Every structure is written in structure tokens, then in C-alpha cells.
Amino acid sequence: MTRKTRIRAALVTAAAVVTAATVTVGVGVAGPEKSPRPTKKQIASLFDAWNAALGTGDSDKVADLYAKDAVLLPTLSNEVRTDRAGIVDYMDHFLENKPVGKKVQTIVTVLDDNSAIDTGVYEFTLTDHDTGEKSVVEARYTYEYEKRGGTWKIVNHHSSAMPEG
């Protein structure tokens, strides 16, 4: 092997080693694949899923949308709900009125890839289960969402009737 051939072989080998090291480091740095940052529209649509769950009349389906450690400060109860049983209990009573929600004003803040806040004003049309009479309750709301196990969950939900109402 000539001196020129040995130098060329050494350069090719060195280039291969550098390339392999760069690829290996790149894979190590990249880590697990991240999910794309949610859009404001995607976060706002989580209310639609919650409202649809209300429409089933099944308090367990509604409670499934909350994290296990969620906090619910409900509109029509003075009791703070801090576990699934409390959330189901509230929903059992709330769903008796066949609530149909509609957002009036929405402000979404995406905090990062796995957390967001949806706050604003919504109104619920309620139907009295004894008389069938309908009433509308306008309330302020805040939903704090976290992505857990690949699924968006409500971790904090505050709803309070408008003070002027």
C-alpha cells in the first residue's frame, strides 16, 4: 500500500467514525419523540368532549375526563370536590337537570406541550327534573388541563355563577 493510499484510507475511516459518533450523539440527545404542541383550538375543543359527556347523563363518563387528583369547584354546590367519588356525586345531581353548555367567551393559554388553561364564560340551559321548566345559568369557568398517559385530563375545574346574575 502506498503512502497516499494509506492516508486516503485513514481519512475515510476517520470520516466514518466522526459520522457514526455524530449520529449516535444525535439519537441520544433527541430522546423520545415529543408530541406536537397543542393548538388553542384543540384545547378549546376539550370542552366539547366534556359537554358531550354531560349529554350522556352518565356521571362516570364525565368523571372519566378528570384526573384522579383533580379539583372541582362546582357552580351549583358549595362543596369542593377533590376525588372521583366527589366529582361523581356532584355530577349525579347536576345531570338531573339535563345541562346543555355553551361557551360565550373563551381564552385559551397553552402553557407547554402537556398543559393548558381554558378560561372564560359559559352558560348552561338547565331543565328542572320535576316541572320541566328551563333556566339559563351564566358562569365564569376555568379548566386546567394536563396530558397524562397521552390523554388530556382536567386537573382543575372552577365554575362560579356570574355575580350580576
CATH code of the domain containing 145: 3.10.450.50
CB-based contact 59:91 (threshold 8 Å): yes
SS (H, E, C) 144-157: EEEEECCEEEEEEE
Q: Return the percentage of the chain with pLDDT > 70, whole number.
A: 78
97: which DSSP letter? Answer: T
Residues 6 and 82 occupy one common structural domain: no
Q: Measured on CA atoms in the order 72, 74, 78, 83, is the torsion positive or negative?
A: negative
Residues 134 and 73 occupy one common structural domain: yes
Higher-confidence position of 38 and 16: 38
Residue 79: burial class (beta carbons within 10 Å; 0-12, 13-18, 19+)? exposed
Residues 152 and 109 occupy one common structural domain: yes
Residues 53 and 17 occupy one common structural domain: no
Beta-strand relationship, 115-127 and 134-148 = antiparallel
Question: Based on the structure, what is the number of domains in the chain?
Answer: 2
Residues 96 and 57 occupy one common structural domain: yes
Indicate if the pLDDT at residue 121 is higher than 80. yes
- Structural domain of 14: 1-33
Segment 60-110, tens digit of pLDDT: 999 999 999 999 999 989 999 999 999 999 999 999 999 999 999 999 999
pLDDT band at 33 (very low <50, low <70, confident <90, very high): low
Residues 17 and 98 occupy one common structural domain: no
Residues 20 and 47 occupy one common structural domain: no
